[in-house]
Amino acid sequence: MVMEEEEQTVKLAESCMVTPSDETPMHGLWLTPIDLTWATTGHIPFLHLYRSASASASGAGAIDDAFFNVARLKAALAKALVAFYPLAGRLGVDAHGRLQIDCAGQGALFVVARPDLTVDDFGSSQPSPELKRLLFPRVEDHSPSLMCGVQVNFLKCGGVALGMALHHIAVDATSAFHFFQTWSAISRDGDAAEATLERPCHDRTLLRPRFPPVVHPDALTVFCPPNHQTPSRDHSPHAVTNQIFVLSKDQVAALKRVCANGVSTFCAVSAHLWRCVCAARRLHPDATTRLIFPANVRASLSPKLPGSFFGNGIIMLGATGKVRDIASKGQLASVAGRIRGAISRMDDELVRSAIDYFEIAGGQTSNQAGSMPETELRVVSWRGMHDADFGRGKPLMVHRAVQPFAGIAYLMDGVGGSMRILLSVEAAIVNDLKRLLLHANF
């Protein structure tokens, strides 16, 4: 790939702050105990790739002014920031030193760039610091921290790579894609879109802790408390490679058939991946292994959170087992059942216990995955996140710019019903893992 062969330069055509187009609330936005666990994670790097009608592999496509028109994008962003006003804010602290979002309409960073790349350069692109450097706004250069930055990259073939960085303390993936859909709809349909769009719910007190906080003992058998982690020798960045594996539509269907009983695609694919990683790592049969995954709590509370709740509505759940019970041949359905069982146990009490756990910890927890034991695997679903249509169709793909730590996988929709698995693993196990993941019998 071009980006890996030689260092590319970035030609910046514009850089500015886009502020909300109308008045927005001016206050310090209280952050939930769940939000605070993501404070050290920083910005989530989302990449949306679009091919214009004139895009070609040769790079001969001309820039189409109607395709991602900059003035229209900025005007639509300004309107979207009225409803999603926390993304125009800055990270701050309240009178007691607790983190909050200072909402005063300061704006989102908006950058236009012209990298020397084509759409087809991204066909097998792996997450990397170089990908982030080329295609994403330098939000880290701003203090206090921005909540949102956007970089519109006009490729030499006529396509567009849209790099968006949203601070994780402000949003989870569900909220981020709600914002993307709103911005793209306003850009595509103008004022007519605003009447049909679901407005975000900013009442984060819906996830306030109880008084006094209490953690139910059974909650910790499923809920996985985060903790501060530091890079270890076995999982240093030098030992890690980022790989993209693609399961065909037929392979995904075959996994679900083996699992049967209405098991979800997430459970089936995660079970297969977990088994393959355990085998490729050659873990001891008596070792205990754990699969960790973020679960959306919005529908698990009583009463349920609004579907449009804007913030971090996720907690980490886990399924565990002995390696021999996870990796042995013929155990796929059983392993998928373990994952499904963990999800089924997420109810109001478990979620409230998780919130109270974070409150008791007093901000001394972090969801940032610095390093994990090789017995653990974290799987995150970004499926169903391809709806950001700015007027010329949905993106070819949604990608993550960088993922430096081993043991983390992202599940994303592929072409024609396939599934792309973006996986960060130890370089030494890649060949075995590919064989097991793509060619092994279930």
The per-residue pLDDT for range 105-147, each reduced to its tens digit, is 999 999 999 998 888 877 656 777 788 888 999 999 999 999 9
Backbone angles phi, psi at 401, to 5 degrees: -75, -40
pLDDT score of 79 more than 60: yes
- What angle, 0 to 180 degrees and rounded to 10, lies between the N-to-C axes of helices 249-259 and 265-280? 90
* Those residues with Cβ within 8 angstroms of residue 321's Cβ, 6 or more apart along the chain or in another chain: 288, 289, 335, 338
Least confident of 76-85, 190-199, 308-317: 190-199
Q: Which residue(s) pair with 244 in the sheet?
A: 422
Distance from CA of residue 397 to its chain's centroid?
14
Place of tokens 């169903």: 384
The larger pLDDT score, comparing residue 6 to residue 218, is at: 218
How much of the chain exceeds pLDDT 90, in percent? Answer: 68
pLDDT score of 386 more than 60: yes
pLDDT score of 424 more than 80: yes
Cβ-contact 201, 310 below 8 angstroms = yes
Query: Using CA atoms, how far apart are residues 167 and 176, in angstroms rounded to an integer?
Result: 10
Task: Give residue 240's pLDDT.
Answer: 83
Task: Give residue 52's pLDDT.
Answer: 77
Quote the DSSP letter at residue 322.
Answer: E
**Which of the residues 64, 325, 389, 432 is marked catalytic?**
389
Quote the DSSP letter at residue 309.
Answer: B
Query: Using CA atoms, how far apart are residues 368 and 376, in angstroms rounded to an integer?
Result: 15
Cα Rg of the chain (Å, integer): 22
| Annotation says 168 is catalytic | yes
pLDDT (average), residues 174-183:
95
Pair of tokens at residue 428: 């030494």
Taking only the tens place, the pLDDT of each residue in 290-335 is 999 999 999 999 999 999 999 999 999 999 999 999 999 899 999 9
Quote the DSSP letter at residue 415.
Answer: G
Least confident of 59-73, 119-133, 208-222, 342-356: 59-73
pLDDT (average), residues 256-265:
91
Per-residue pLDDT band at 1 (split at 50, 70, 90): very low
Least confident of 19-28, 235-244, 252-261, 398-407: 235-244
Cis omega (within 30 of 0) for bond into 294: no
**Which of the residues 168, 202, 235, 399 is marked catalytic?**
168
pLDDT score of 58 more than 70: no
Per-residue pLDDT band at 174 (split at 50, 70, 90): very high
Task: Give residue 226's pLDDT.
Answer: 72
Task: Give residue 366's pLDDT.
Answer: 61
pLDDT score of 5 more than 50: no
Least confident of 149-153, 198-202, 236-240: 236-240
Task: Give residue 128's pLDDT.
Answer: 75
pLDDT score of 55 more than 70: no
pLDDT (average), residues 167-193:
94
Least confident of 152-161, 202-211, 235-244: 235-244
Length of the chain: 442
Among residues 280, 241, 243, the alpha carbon closest in space to that of 427 is found at 241
Edge-to-edge strands, sheet with 397-400: 12-18, 108-113, 148-154, 160-167, 43-50, 397-400
Distance from CA of residue 398 to its chain's centroid?
10
Q: Which helix (H) or strand (E) holds 28?
A: strand 27-30
| Annotation says 234 is catalytic | no
Task: Give residue 372's pLDDT.
Answer: 81
pLDDT score of 57 more than 50: no
Per-residue pLDDT band at 362 (split at 50, 70, 90): confident
CA distances from 329 to 294, 319, 326 (A): 27, 19, 9
pLDDT score of 156 more than 80: yes
Pair of tokens at residue 342: 């963990």
DSSP class per residue in 164-227? EEEETTT--HHHHHHHHHHHHHHHHHTHHHHTTSPPPB--GGGGPPPSS----GGGGGTB----
Q: Which residue(s) pair with 91 in the sheet?
A: 101
For the chain, give the mean pLDDT: 88
How much of the chain exceeds pLDDT 70, in percent? Answer: 88
Task: Give residue 67's pLDDT.
Answer: 73
**Helix-, strand-, coil-residue percentages of the chain, each rounded to 5:** 35, 25, 45
Task: Give residue 384's pLDDT.
Answer: 78
Query: Using CA atoms, how far apart are residues 163 and 47, in angstroms rounded to an integer?
Result: 5
pLDDT (average), residues 45-67:
66
Taking only the tens place, the pLDDT of each residue in 7-53 is 566 678 899 999 999 999 999 999 999 999 999 989 999 999 998 76
Task: Give residue 370's pLDDT.
Answer: 56
Of the chain, the end-to-end C-alpha distance in Å amounts to: 33
pLDDT score of 4 more than 80: no
